[in-house]
Amino acid sequence: LKKLSKLTIEKEAELVEINPLAIMQDDSLMALDGKFVTDDNSNFRHPEMDKYQEKSEIEERAEKSGFSLVELDGDIAVVGNGAGLVMSTLDMLSDNGGKPACFLDVGGGATTESVYEALTLISKMNRVKKILVNLYGGIVKTTVVAEAFIKAYDDGLIDLPVFSRLKGTESDKAKEMLKDSRTKIYDSVEDAINAAVMGEGN
């Protein structure tokens, strides 16, 4: 237990688990299986752990491009800026019966190019049928996201319905830019999620 606690603290792990644990005939203990889950936000402090990470080709490409992407099993891609915002959106989507296809955090330093790259990766996930965007423009201007979506539509990169909630810096301008696209704008994330789950605007 001391070693597990030490490992958890030193590596800043989210989870360290031994399960099952067998008791041998001589009363010694043997770990039959274990699980170690790292915290993506602290991985940069532990480069020695990279070789143990199980990542898909798409997840590795996302990391090289400077944003976080985790593939899931559903059909609705979830895009946002900030891990907390994206995670809460995932929870709300699941609570409303939606099935997320991925967690994609474009981060605080997103550019038109990086968001376009994010959409490129989403386009490679055949199971994705819809895109849900929940973005608060603070450091990142919402027009940056709008420009990326417009370019992706123009280039034929995506042809999927997009349900979005855009708030913050230049959000009114972003909404105007997207008004003639397949991106539907909603005033609240709840409305965007409900529309995505119900398939409105397809």
Amino acid residing at 152: A
C-beta of residue 80 within 8 angstroms of C-beta of residue 134: yes
Residue 24 has pLDDT above 70, yes or no: yes
Domain residue limits, the chain? 2-45, 56-198
Bond from prior residue into 161 cis (ω within 30 degrees of 0): no
Percent of the chain with pLDDT strictly greater than 90 = 32
The span from the CA of 11 to the CA of 7, in Å, is 6
Is the alpha carbon torsion for 118, 128, 105, 14 positive or negative?
negative
Neighbours of 71 (CB within 10 A): 18
Neighbours of 23 (CB within 10 A): 9
Architecture of domain 56-198: 3-Layer(aba) Sandwich (3.40)
Structure confidence by residue, pLDDT tens digits, 132-144? 999 887 777 889 8
User: Can you give the pLDDT at residue 130?
Assistant: 95
Query: What average pLDDT does range 166-181 have in this prediction?
Result: 88
Q: Of the candidates 113, 76, 120, which has an alpha carbon nearest to the alpha carbon of residue 97? A: 76
Query: What average pLDDT does range 119-139 have in this prediction?
Result: 88
Structure confidence by residue, pLDDT tens digits, 36-71? 777 766 766 777 766 666 667 777 777 777 788 888
The span from the CA of 118 to the CA of 82, in Å, is 14
Query: What average pLDDT does range 136-155 have in this prediction?
Result: 87
